[in-house]
Structure 1
Amino acid sequence: MNKKVKLLIVTQKVDENDDVLGFMHGWIKEFARQCEKVTVICLYKGQYNLPENVKVLSLGKEDGVSRLKYFVRFYNYIWRERKNYDNVFVHMNQVYVILGWKIWRLLGKKIGLWYAHGYVPFSLRLAEKPLHKIFTSTVSGFRLNSKKLHIVGQGIDTEIFAPINVKIENDRLRIISIGRISPVKNYETLIKAVEVLIKRGMKLEVNIIGGVGLPEQEQYLDVLKKMTKSKELESVIHFKGAVPNKDIITVLQKSDLFVNTSLTGSLDKAMLEAMSIGLPTLTCNEAMLEVLGDYKRKLMYNKKDFEALAEKIVYIIGLNAKEKEKMSTDLRDIVVKDHSLPRFVKMILDNY
């Protein structure tokens, strides 16, 4: 822990009630615990409850200000606050690096970027050049060759995402999948797998948690709902909409199995949150090859292979109590060891 560090964090949103970026609230708290001072510049400011050594400055999206004003505020903040930070940590949006690097370099600030996604836009290639440090979760999370790269895992609050001793009795296997409603999440594979199992007479309850934000995502949700109806699965598969990240723990604790069908190729926080509470987690995401260790063969299937996913679900159902307990303990141990939030923040700060 280095209490002398003064850090600037640049991120899209500070809002503990957000379903996608709500976790950032917890990250900022942990950075504040390990730093002397944290200044946060965000595009959108919602509800938050952060320590006294944190200052949050918004570019004003919540007030509907113009894009021009975003730029004016951004440059004003990074210059005005220059004595309140030594290092810069940009979260997922490399455009802020492109906008700010000249001033930050002029001021002698070290610039770091967190990027964990399989997509490599041209802007990322541009941003890589002036950066001092790049942080990602796994090898597959940053697909450019760079000597600046540091693999630090993910940041999961394992004290919050913890198992509970009492499970609610249910005669159905309760499956949960979490992620925005987008074609890249490939929910069709889950729907088809469930259809296979229902035809075999299995009792299932499937909850898909995730919101929509773009017109194409609304269209995709309509496609999924029509698909569910055509397969007569409306009483089995439920689209629950967005749930704030801070409330996801309750939903996970009421589930028996987490299924991820995403095609992004990057390490999904939701999977690690599920593992942290001890949920068996099935996935086709290649990033998990670096995470699951001896459980790779047991818990992974090929992308879009709904029959293989169905068989993996059958395998989970067939585990006895002792086997389930061991799997739950082992999966949580992976997260605690390699992806706990305090470890994550310390590794980032130590690598500046």
Structure 2
Amino acid sequence: MKLLIVTQKVDATDSNLGFFVSWIKKFAEQAEVVVIANEVGWHEKMEHVHVVSLGKEERVSRITRFLRYQRFLLRTLPEVDGVFFHMCPEYVLAAHFLPRLYGKKSVLWYTHKKVSTRLCIASRLVDKIYTASKESCRLQSKKVEVVGHGIDADFFSGNPFATPKLRLLSIGRISPTKDLETIIRGFLLLKEKHPDAALTLVGDTITEADRVYEEELAELGSRSLFSGPAPYTDLPMIYSDNAVFVHASRTGSMDKAVLEALSSGLPVCTSSEAFSEAIPGVTKFEAGNPKDLAEKIATAFEHGEIGYNEKGREWVRENHSLERLSRRIISFYLL
């Protein structure tokens, strides 16, 4: 089998999209893969994978990238068995009817709560839309199917021999929707009772509003809490160096970072509606309530409940592993 993948970026060091290199490798275990990427950065040479760039890293104009995209599609579609569009409905729209013209099944992977006009139109052009959870794609369509988040459980395995300490971690965009204010205020309350507690915030700002929010948070807590964005390749070590993952996002979506933390053996304290305490190692606190957050973590620590979360790791492997996701997607093309 030969699969065409269309994606934003192929760069193993990228803090946001670096994970997708592991997806490409996993697909390549089951098929020959051709990747069309808007931008290409550093990545190891992958067996059975051919990557072409539209040239964003070279600052090529949008119209030139569009024309290259059309040329690559016309050259590649006759040779492949299917097309996998990653995240961007725009790539589906730009491919328009070409996959159908060549009789190729096409799939869109999409995880965002926004149901845009572009997504609605793209849904009519593809044969299937895969998503991570029911909260991750809110388009009302029979084409939408939940298959889990695709976490590389071998990459995120954690350290089962780490000494339990009150080292708190949060990873994600620095944005008001992540409610980092509650996390920082909760941490400051926790330190009153446990002075050795530590908090690390890993992530980057995107918009000007995000940057203003980060400055406000730095005044509330300390600039030293913010370690900035981290290359994807560094994340396993970062998870292993901490003891509890803290999460207060109000997007309602199942954040990938929470699942990576669980796969790494970390217990998770979250206020998100996307996660329940039925998940091993997950503790819920009231949204926007730093006192409740501090009390939940302090209680767990004092009762010796902070340690390597093997059951949470197994839950991720059973429900959100990359192995499981890749086989589900590949099997669709073979039907």
Select 1:245's aligned residue among 232, 237, 247: 232
Which residue in 1 is equivalent to 2:183? 190
Which one-letter code corresponds to 1:301 in the other structure?
Answer: F
Contact 1:168 1:254 in 2 (8 A): no
Q: Distance in 2 between matches of 1:146 and 1:50?
A: 38
Q: Distance in 2 between matches of 1:78 and 1:204?
A: 53
Select 1:53's aligned residue among 48, 54, 61: 48
Which one-letter code corresponds to 1:315 in the other structure?
Answer: T
The residue matched to 1:10 in structure 2 has which SS? Answer: strand
Deviations 1:48-99 (A, max 9, x none): 1142311111111100011111111111111111233221111111111111
Which residue in 2 is equivalent to 1:130? 125
Residue 344 (structure 1) shift? 1.1
Contact 2:159 2:265 in 1 (8 A): no
Which residue in 2 is equivalent to 1:32? 28
Q: Distance in 1 between matches of 2:28 and 2:168?
A: 36
TM-score (norm 1): 0.89
Contact 2:109 2:131 in 1 (8 A): yes
**After the TM superposition, which residues 135-154 of structure 1 pair with which residues of structure 2 at under 5 Å, given as runs?**
135-154=130-149
Contact 2:177 2:249 in 1 (8 A): yes
The residue matched to 2:15 in structure 1 has which SS? Answer: coil
Deviations 1:175-226 (A, max 9, x none): 0100122222121110111122223354311000012233332222212112
Which one-letter code corresponds to 1:251 in the other structure?
Answer: I
Which residue in 1 is equivalent to 2:278? 293
Which residue in 1 is equivalent to 2:193? 200
Structure 2 gap segments, 5+ residues each:
none
Which residue in 1 is equivalent to 2:112? 117
**Aligned pair 1:348/2:329, yes or no?**
yes
Contact 1:141 1:287 in 2 (8 A): no
Q: Distance in 1 between matches of 2:45 and 2:129?
A: 26
Query: Cα gap change, 1:118/1:318 in structure 2, threshold over 3 Å: closer, same or farther?
Result: farther
**Aligned pair 1:331/2:312, yes or no?**
yes
Which residue in 2 is equivalent to 1:70? 65
Q: Distance in 1 between matches of 2:279 and 2:212?
A: 39
Deviations 1:261-307 (A, max 9, x none): 11222111111111112100111222224xx52559x6122332222
Deviations 1:25-63 (A, max 9, x none): 10000000111x111111110011142311111111100
Q: Distance in 1 between matches of 2:202 and 2:320?
A: 23
The residue matched to 1:18 in structure 2 has which SS? Answer: coil
Residue 140 (structure 1) shift? 0.7
Contact 1:11 1:93 in 2 (8 A): yes
Q: Distance in 2 between matches of 1:7 and 1:165?
A: 37
TM-score (norm 2): 0.93
Which residue in 2 is equivalent to 1:100? 95
CA RMSD between the two structures: 1.9
Contact 1:117 1:265 in 2 (8 A): no
Query: Cα gap change, 1:279/1:225 in structure 2, threshold over 3 Å: closer, same or farther?
Result: same
Contact 2:179 2:250 in 1 (8 A): yes
Q: How many residues align?
A: 333
Q: Distance in 2 between matches of 1:91 and 1:316?
A: 39
**After the TM superposition, which residues 303-322 of structure 1 pair with which residues of structure 2 at under 5 Å, given as runs?**
303-320=287-304
Q: Distance in 2 between matches of 1:295 and 1:302?
A: 19
Q: Distance in 2 between matches of 1:281 and 1:59?
A: 39
The residue matched to 1:81 in structure 2 has which SS? Answer: helix
Which one-letter code corresponds to 1:16 in the other structure?
Answer: A
Q: Distance in 1 between matches of 2:288 and 2:96?
A: 41
The residue matched to 2:309 in structure 1 has which SS? Answer: helix
Contact 1:173 1:204 in 2 (8 A): yes
Moved more, 210-219 or 328-337: 210-219
Contact 1:14 1:22 in 2 (8 A): yes
Query: Cα gap change, 1:215/1:159 in structure 2, threshold over 3 Å: closer, same or farther?
Result: same
Residue 139 (structure 1) shift? 0.8
Contact 1:210 1:243 in 2 (8 A): yes
Select 2:205's aligned residue among 212, 225, 238: 212
Which one-letter code corresponds to 1:273 in the other structure?
Answer: E
